Structure 1
Amino acid sequence: MARLKRVAGERPLFWVGSSKEDLLAFPEPVQDEIGTALSVAQFGGKHPSAKPWRGEGPGVFEVVEDHRGNTYRAVYTVRFEGAVYVLHAFQKKSPTGIRTSKRDVELIARRLNEARMDFEVRYGKV
């Protein structure tokens, strides 16, 4: 059941671009695990499955979840004080290796910039 009110100490969660719709297209067990990791982030913690995202500096994390032979990822940031921004949710489809596609990496960088701009507008600071 979804909560309508925030709990004391809970950071607001913001979705950038199509990240929410993309996450909702994942299998339910994957949605649950990623949702739990995001909830932990909202309370200032780091879920065991959240790992630093390389390339964008501190405060950007990815949650990787495997389900029935497929790999799903969600990338979020806690870089901005008092807020969590979900930058991207995607199914990894690299034909070889573990490298994330250039398209996804570039999209995450763009959305991180969008999150920064949104935070500045909402809160008047970075």
Structure 2
Amino acid sequence: MWKFYTILLLQVIHRLGNLFEGLSQSLQEDFLLALDRLSQGETLGMPLSKPLFNIALGLHELRFKERRSIYRVFYFIKRGDAIYLVHAAQKKTETIPDKDRRLILRRLKEI
């Protein structure tokens, strides 16, 4: 069973809270179910989870869609240790914006 950690806990929780405030109960439940599945050691695949090896080994993106919006929660799996939630954002482009990419990499260095 994995442990979950958040980097800069209050900022990530605040960001998740801001993102999820207006979301349906169903989408919030999907997110919690995905976290539960990860905590049980399950490997999630597309379309729910996408590995981001081009940014960092062990980095993944949870993807949730509601109406016309897509939400991303970035997490890092440190084998034998824990799963770290490092960032959350609403997807507005196909690529991860440089600002978000730099923030993710900075937080990964703290692990």
User: Which TM-score tier does this pair reach, normalised by the shorter chain?
Assistant: 0.7 to 0.9
Tell me how far 1:80 sits from its aligned partner.
4.2
Tell me which protein shows more strand as a share of its residues.
2
Say how many residue pairs are matched. 103
Larger Rg: 1
Tell me how far 1:90 sits from its aligned partner.
0.7
Instruction: Tell me the secondary structure at the aligned position of residue 37 of structure 1.
Output: helix
Spell out the pairing of 1:80-99 with structure 2 (5 A cutoff): 80-94=79-93, 98-99=94-95
Indicate which of 15, 21, 24 corresponds to 2:17.
24
Deviations 1:6-32 (A, max 9, x none): xxxx32211123222222231143332
Tell me how far 1:55 sits from its aligned partner.
2.7
- Cross-structure match for 1:105: 101
Structure 1: state its 5+ residue gaps: 1-9, 117-126
Structure 2: state its 5+ residue gaps: none
Identity of aligned residues (%): 27
Dislocated runs of 4+, deviation >3 Å:
none
Alpha-carbon RMSD: 1.7
Name which structure has the greater RCO, CA cutoff 8 Å, separation 6+.
2
C-alpha distance in 2, partners of 1:101/1:30? Answer: 24
Aligned-partner residue type, residue 38 of structure 1: L
